[in-house]
Amino acid sequence: MVNEFSSSRVFDALADQMERAEFARALVDEVRGFADEEREHGHLCGAVVESLGGEARAPFRVEGTLPEHSDAASSREAVLRNVLSVSCLSETVAVALIGAEREEMPDGPLRELLTTIWSDEVGHARFGWRLLSEYAPLLTATEKSNLSRYLSIALGALAEYELKSLPANNFVPENGAELGLCSGKEARELFFETVKVAILPNLSALGLSPT
C-alpha cells in the first residue's frame, strides 16, 4: 500500500518533467494515467489490509520525488534518466517479483487483485522500454555516454533498495503464499536474475551499458 502511493507521486513528477521537456501530450497523459493506477493499487491494498483485520494507516513517506538531473546534456536526457530508472529498472523488477508471487497464489479474489496490479506494472515497464527504444537512435554521443554513466548509479540505487526490502532471512510462514508472501532469499535471487537476463541485455541492445 505504502509503495503504491509512493509510486503514484513518482509518476506524477515524471509526467510534470516530461511536460516541461515538451514531450508529446499523449506520452505525458499516459504517465499521468500510471499515477492514477498506482493510487488505485494503494486503495486496493489498503482494502485488503482492512479486510484482514488490520488498519490501513502508515507514516507518510517522503519518497516520491524525482531528481531533476541538472547535469544532463539536455532536458530530453534528464527525462530518459528517470524513465530508465523508474520504468526500465524498478518496474521491470516489480513485474518479475509480483509475477512470481502471483504464480504461487491459489485462485481467488486476492490472486485476481494481484493480477490486476501485475498487469498494470507490465504496462509501466513496457512504456519505459518503448520510449527508450524510440529515443535511443536520436541521442547524441554525449547523451548516450551520460545515460550509460547514470545507469551505473541507477543500478546501484535499485540494488540497495531491493535488498533492503527483501531481507534474506525473511521466510514464508505456513499458508503465506495464499497472501502473496515470498521468501526473501528466493526474491533476491529473482531480482539478480531479472537484472542479468532481462534488463542488461535489453539496455545493451540499445547501446547502453553501465560504465
What is the reported pLDDT for 59? 79
Long-range contacts of 194-202 (CB under 8 A, 24+ apart): 194/92, 194/93, 194/96, 195/93, 195/155, 195/158, 195/159, 198/92, 198/96, 199/88, 199/89, 199/92, 199/93, 202/88, 202/129
Q: What is the mean pLDDT of the chain?
A: 92
Closest of 183, 190, 210, 207 to residue 92, by C-alpha: 190
Give the per-residue pLDDT at 64: 52
pLDDT at 65: 73
The grid coordinates listed for 200 are: 542488461
Compute how many other C-beta atoms are within 10 angstroms of the C-beta atom of residue 21: 15
Q: How far apart are CA 131 and CA 96, in angstroms?
A: 20
Residues of the chain with pLDDT under 50: none
pLDDT for 169 equals: 82
Decide: 14 and 66 in contact? Cβ < 8 Å. Answer: yes
Task: Tell me how far apart the alpha carbons of residues 112 and 101 are, in angstroms, rounded to a whole number.
Answer: 12
**pLDDT tens per residue across span 47-69:** 998 988 998 888 776 655 789 99
Give the pLDDT of residue 178: 72
Find, among 4, 198, 202, 211, the residue nearest to 92 by Cα. 198
Please name the amino acid found at residue 210.
Answer: P
Each residue's pLDDT tens digit, 118-140: 999 999 999 999 999 999 999 99
Supply the pLDDT for residue 23. Answer: 98
What integer pLDDT is reported at residue 61 of this predicted model? 67
User: Model's pTM, two decimal places?
Assistant: 0.91
Nearest by Cα to 117 from 128, 129, 105: 105
Residue 63: what pLDDT? 58
Cα-based distances in Å from 1 to 106, 113, 139, 211: 21, 13, 37, 35
pLDDT at residue 156, as a whole number:
96
